[in-house]
Amino acid sequence: MLVMWCTRTALGRLQRIAPCTVTGFNRAMSTLPKVYVTRKVPQDGLDILRKSGQVQFEMWDSDDPVPRVELLKKVKGCEGILCVLTEKIDTQLLNAAGPNLKVVSTMSVGFDHLSLDELKKRGIRVGYTPDVLTDSVAELTVALLLATSRRLIEATHEAKTGGWGTWRTLWLCDHELANSTVGILGLGRIGVAIAERLKPFKVKKFIYTDVAPRPELANMIEAEYVSLDELAKQSDFLAICCALTPETYGICDWNLFSKMKKNAIFINTSRGGVVNQEDLYEALSTGLIAGAGLDVTNPEPLPTHHPLFTLKNCVILPHIASASYTTRNSMSALAANNLLAGLRGEPMPKELKL
């Protein structure tokens, strides 16, 4: 754990200049809003907090999650919390923080870890980090789609373990993007960015479904709005890009998979909770669909003994869609700026309207 209130060097200089100034300095620091940062976040965000001179902040200095007991203790009396998606900001935590809490800034585009109704009831503002991760997530989604549909992980294993013998006519054959129909469940910034990257592969048609038609976004990629049933029936590749809400929880279940083509590839880079993983296993293991690529699971991490790991036609990544240096630093910076703006009572760069 690391307390980032001031540097020893700065304090030492103050002591050498005038001992009485140190007392005033400490008094001034103690009046600044208290903030808790729940994880070791990328440097750009830390620099913004440190150089702002507007907060005193304490950080859990680890790549691993802060223990819940420690978190509940550290948020007491805080006016701001900068968190990541592994921390549940629920009634218990908000009660522990107390009435001074004004702002929660999450370094994520998803917000299913936040109790939004409770935050709204208490008048606590929420910042999040959309847009800055769009490119990174779209790139990873395309990479995962190709790795799954072209059986790259399976092929690499065969090459490493002696399965690569004489050339065979149909060995490791797979499914092309050319002349295919790509479906998108949840058409937002990321869905559009995925489609834009897939266009050069000569995709024949883009279709999508959402809570309602989104013509402005759809026109950017010439996508057709269809029902969820039609999305399942028509898609050769189905990319899941929706937020996790009570309405979307488990939406990708046997009912969806049973309507999909036998050669269909299912890709999820949104949230693990939108997929019924038991139904997905049955669909993959019985050949109901051709393959699946998952960057997100439920729970995370997925236990290594989970049946999905036994399938050759299922590629599972450890939630790395936004894992580029540029994106993670941008997320950290945006989360810090959201926090500071919220504490000043100003509009946040990206505020979640409750």
Q: Which residues are catalytic?
A: 319
Beta bridge partners of 106: 83
* Buried-state track 46-76, b at ≥16 Cβ within 10 A, e below 16: bebbbebebbbbbbbeeeeebeeeebeebbe
Torsion of CA 80, 86, 88, 94, to 10 degrees: -20
Q: Is 78 exposed, middle or buried (0-12, 13-18, 19+ CB in 10 A)?
A: buried
218 alpha-carbon distance from chain centroid: 23
Q: Is 301 exposed, middle or buried (0-12, 13-18, 19+ CB in 10 A)?
A: exposed
Residue by residue, DSSP assigns 30-51 as: HHSPEEEE-S---HHHHHHHHH
303 alpha-carbon distance from chain centroid: 19
136 contacts 108 by C-beta, under 8 angstroms: no
210 contacts 216 by C-beta, under 8 angstroms: no
Pairing mode, strands 2-4 and 56-59 = antiparallel
The residue with tokens 């005193």 is 56
Q: Return all residues near 10 (Cβ < 8 A) that are at least 6 apart.
A: none
